[in-house]
Amino acid sequence: MYPYRFVCLVVALLSFTACKPDPLDKALRGELSPDESNLTIVAYCQSCHIHRALNPNEHLTYIRTLYERVPYTATTECRACHLVPEDTWGRKQRKTIFPSDVVKNHYTAHEKRFLREHPDLAKGSK
pLDDT tens-place string over residues 21-33: 678 888 888 888 8
3-class DSSP state of 30 = coil
Question: What average pLDDT score do residues 32-47 get?
Answer: 88
* Distance, CA of 110 to CA of 83 (rounded, Å): 10
- Domain extent at residue 80: 22-122
Cα–Cα dist 105/27, whole Å: 24
| pLDDT: which is higher, 94 or 18 | 94
Query: Does residue 54 fall inside a structural domain?
Result: yes
Cβ-based neighbours of 26, under 8 Å, separated by 6 or more: 32, 37, 40
Q: Residue 17: its pLDDT value, please?
A: 64
Q: Does 4 map to a domain?
A: no
- Measured on CA atoms in the order 114, 119, 123, 126, is the torsion positive or negative? negative
Contacts of 35 (CB under 8 A, 6+ apart): none
Task: Name which residue leads in pLDDT, 33 or 124.
Answer: 33
**Across 91-110, average pLDDT:** 89
Answer whether residue 13 is part of any domain.
no
Select the more confidently predicted residue: 65 or 20: 65
The number of folded domains in the chain is: 1
Residue 17 lies in a domain: no
pLDDT attached to residue 98: 94
Mean pLDDT over each residue of the chain, to the nearest integer: 83
Band (pLDDT 50/70/90 cuts) for residue 125 is very low
Residue 10 lies in a domain: no
